[in-house]
Amino acid sequence: MTAVFLDGIVLGLQLGLLGVGLTLIYGLGGVLNLSHGQFAVLGAIVIARMTQADMSLWAAVPAGLAAAAVVALAADLTIMRPVYRLQGEARVLLGLLLMLGLGTIIDGYLEWKYPIEALNIRISGDPIPILGVPMRVGSLVASALAVVAGAALFVFLRYTTFGRATRSIIEDEEGARLCGINPSLVRSVIFGLSGALAGLVAVSRAMTSPVTSTAGVSLTILALIVAVVGGLGSVSGAFVAGILLGIVNTVSAFYIGTYITAIVLLAAAALTIVFRPSGILGGGT
Amino acid sequence: MTAPATSPATGRAADLLRAYSPIAVTAALLALVPIRYSDSRSMMTVIIIGMVFAAYTIAFNIILGSTGQLFLCTGALAGIGGFTSAILTARHGWPFLPGVILGTLLASAIGGLLSWVAVSRSLDAIFTGVVTLAFSLSYENLVLGKKDLTGGETGLRVKAAADTVLTTRVAPYYVFLGLVVAYLVLYRLIERSHVGWAFRSLRDDEVAAELSGVNVTRYRVYAGLIGSAMLGLAGALFAHHREFIAPTTYAFGAVDVRVLVMLVFGGIGSLLGPVIGAIALTIVDEILVDFAQLRIMLYGIVIVVLFLGFRRGVVPSLESLGRRVRRRA
């Protein structure tokens, strides 16, 4: 039981980081990034290709994250421009559909060029006992990576001027603009950052299980579930929801079965929307 | 309404003619298509599937186009119709017709329920989209997991309509064309009834509609019930025509994305838009058939280009062009 629980936390930290990237973009511009998982896979495949060309992981990982960030930034600077010109529901709908299209393009490209590619990062070392459970070094490094990235993001959003500007746009775009903040600049930077975060999640995942070139859609869906349960736009909510759902996922997969588990996670998202749309940390309706 | 010289009776006839003649013309043109392709079984399959998708898209148009509910579960609702009728006939020995009817009713009930939940919790389009997407994926997992009922990944053989017109080479095309025509007529009938007035008023301005006494909940749920029944029926008939269904037959990636593209391309909220979108995409698919690996990527490009530059769709664009030409004449 403890082992399952700990595995759940490892997965949960990754899910949290995945959800944060999605929720930040939604909070800033109302764009539901349905290609978030594809950004992650794109980063993973770049890293996989580079390590196969005998490059060290220390060079390949930054390159992979940069690739994911550049694609995300490029999306923001091109196809998202007309979206930001719209307001309200029209903006949300167009943003969602365009990102769905972009995700399909990335998926199709990867399936065409690298149908059987996968990123698998093996970290050697003897298992380290945690609470009496021997944990693989890979899982521990993966968790540490997610925790460090999450903490860095927290510090960034809380204590830097740019982070404060980001949060103020999430609160009130018009108000932020009146204070001299340039929402479109912040959005672009955060879009790129969110792409890099997605790549980082892929790196962390690859330490515990292979990230295949076809994993994009399921990662996007997981990100969506986590962000919705955490409350769209809530960074801390996404992290809490990620850890919670990670535990739910492994416990349910271990005791009930995988296909029911998928339904449990999906139901969590649907029920959150229906009964508590602002997420687990937010107030009631 | 018309020129004073015409009597009310002929005015009414002209009005009906104007309302239904586009459907008659479309039906006549589509009825000619098999003349060219009746020799080829593979081409018949392509155009039959085109008709099935036209039917799905008209149904989706009632839900999204008429009442603005973003249902990302077109495939799932068609699949509920398909799998229900397939399981009842193949596993429980039900005859063809009751199986299809029950599949249709179940799809309708579930779609209506989703609609009711969305409206009564006043979810906006994006939340309705996420809830229905979650439903779609749950349905897919259930179909994959409940192997004893659905056959899981290997699929399910459906034999209840063997040796009927549904399983011949050319006739099924006309069955599905008939379904498309019936759906178009239904769409027009709804559009011209008081329900259609309610749909339009709540689409234009929901608050104003509610203030002037339109029961928004009721009409949204009506659209959910009707559209889902249409999806379920088309899905069930398709299952019996193919004589085999698998989870991929109605998968989100295979149905929902295509239906969305077809509707946007043809024109959301227009009568013939879904049919034109289905025809166009079927042709595009046939052109791309030799580039199977590239197809998904090109589909993505089509989605992005469509939504960036052509959100109004073919039919509304042509209509406004026609109006402009007429005004100038």
- Indicate the domain borders of chain B: 20-328
CB A193 within 8 A of CB A17: no
Nearest residue, CB atoms, B130 vs list A94, A97, A269: A269
CB contact under 8 A, B301 and A277: no
B291: nearest CA in chain A?
A112
Task: Extract the tokens encoding B209.
Answer: 């509609």
* Block residue for tokens 């929901």: B206
Separation of alpha carbons A88 and A74, rounded Å: 23
Nearest residue, CB atoms, B297 vs list A96, A108, A260: A108
* pLDDT at position B1: 45
* pLDDT tens-digit map of B280-313: 999 988 888 888 778 888 888 988 988 888 777 7
Task: Extract the tokens encoding B58.
Answer: 């008209």
Task: Compute the C-alpha angle A219/A145/A75, nearest 5°.
Answer: 45
* pLDDT at position A180: 86
Task: Extract the tokens encoding A208.
Answer: 């515990």
* pLDDT at position B2: 45
Quick one: angle between helices A183-208 and A137-159, nearest 10?
170
Residue type, B315: V
* pLDDT at position B57: 97
Nearest residue, CB atoms, B123 vs list A94, A112, A273: A273
Q: Which residues have a Cβ under 8 Å from the Cβ of A126 and sit 6 or more positions away?
A: A137
Closest by alpha carbon to A76, among B238, A223, B49, A68?
A: A68
Separation of alpha carbons A120 and A61, rounded Å: 12
Mean pLDDT within A239-246: 94
Q: Which residues have a Cβ under 8 Å from the Cβ of A163 and sit 6 or more positions away?
A: A155, A156, A157
Contacts of B67 in chain A (CB under 8 A): none
Q: What is the fold, at CATH topology level, of the domain defined by A2-275?
A: ABC transporter involved in vitamin B12 uptake, BtuC (1.10.3470)
Contacts of B293 in chain A (CB under 8 A): 111-112
- Tell me the CA end-to-end span of chain A in Å, nearest whole number: 35
ipTM, two decimals, is: 0.87
Residue A194 has pLDDT above 50, yes or no: yes
CB contact under 8 A, B126 and A79: no
Closest by alpha carbon to B237, among B180, B188, B275, B277?
A: B180
CB contact under 8 A, A266 and B117: no
Mutate to test the interface with B, among A35, A266, A275 (most CBs of B within 10 A): A266
Contacts of A217 in chain B (CB under 8 A): 253
* pLDDT tens-digit map of A174-190: 888 888 888 889 999 99
Residue B326 has pLDDT above 60, yes or no: yes
Contacts of A102 in chain B (CB under 8 A): 300, 304
* DSSP assignment string, B285-308: HHHGGGGHHHHHHHHHHHHHHHHH
* pLDDT tens-digit map of A201-233: 999 999 999 999 999 999 999 999 999 999 988
Burial class for B28, CB neighbours closer than 10 Å (0-12, 13-18, 19+): exposed
Distance in Å, alpha carbon of A30 to nearest chain B alpha carbon: 10
* Block residue for tokens 């036209």: B54
* pLDDT tens-digit map of A119-161: 998 888 888 888 888 888 999 999 999 999 999 999 999 999 9
Tell me if residue B63 falls in helix, strand or coil: helix
Mutate to test the interface with A, among B73, B258, B303 (most CBs of A within 10 A): B303
**With the CA atoms of B182, B187, B193 and B197 taken in that order, what torsion angle do they form, in degrees rounded to the nearest 10?**
180
A39-43, A234-238, B53-57 — which is least confidently predicted? A234-238
CB contact under 8 A, A93 and B125: yes
CB B268 within 8 A of CB B310: no
Nearest residue, CB atoms, B127 vs list A97, A101, A277: A277
| Position A285 confidence tier, pLDDT thresholds 50, 70, 90 | very low
Burial class for B287, CB neighbours closer than 10 Å (0-12, 13-18, 19+): exposed
B310: nearest CA in chain A?
A94
Task: Extract the tokens encoding A56.
Answer: 């060290």
Closest by alpha carbon to A4, among A245, A218, A202, A255?
A: A255
CB contact under 8 A, A266 and B134: yes
Q: How many residues does chain A have?
A: 285
Residue B6 has pLDDT above 70, yes or no: no
Tell me if residue A116 falls in helix, strand or coil: coil
CB contact under 8 A, B296 and A112: yes
Task: Extract the tokens encoding A85.
Answer: 């010109």
The mean of the pLDDT values for chain B is 89
DSSP E strands in A83-206: the ranges are 118-119, 128-130, 133-135
Q: Rg of chain A over CA atoms, in angstroms?
A: 18
Q: What is the fold, at CATH topology level, of the domain defined by B20-328?
A: ABC transporter involved in vitamin B12 uptake, BtuC (1.10.3470)
Please enumerate residues of A whose Cβ is less than 8 A from a Cβ of B.
Answer: 32, 79, 82, 89, 92-94, 96-98, 100-109, 111-112, 217, 221, 224-225, 228, 257, 259-260, 262-263, 266-267, 269-270, 273-275, 277
Report how far apart, in Å, the C-alpha atoms of B98 and of each of B157, B174, B232 are. 18, 22, 13
Phi, psi at residue A70, to the nearest 5°? Answer: -65, -45
CB contact under 8 A, A112 and B297: yes
* Block residue for tokens 């608050």: B207
CB contact under 8 A, B304 and A270: no
Separation of alpha carbons A220 and A212, rounded Å: 14
A96: nearest CA in chain B?
B126
CB atoms closer than 10 angstroms to residue B20? 16
Half-sphere exposure of B247 (CA within 13 A, CB side): 20
Mutate to test the interface with B, among A36, A80, A256, A263 (most CBs of B within 10 A): A263
Separation of alpha carbons A198 and A285, rounded Å: 30
Contacts of B262 in chain A (CB under 8 A): none
Q: Which residues have a Cβ under 8 Å from the Cβ of B227 and sit 6 or more positions away?
A: B59, B60, B62, B63, B71, B111
Residue B157 has pLDDT above 60, yes or no: yes
Mutate to test the interface with B, among A31, A81, A102, A105 (most CBs of B within 10 A): A105
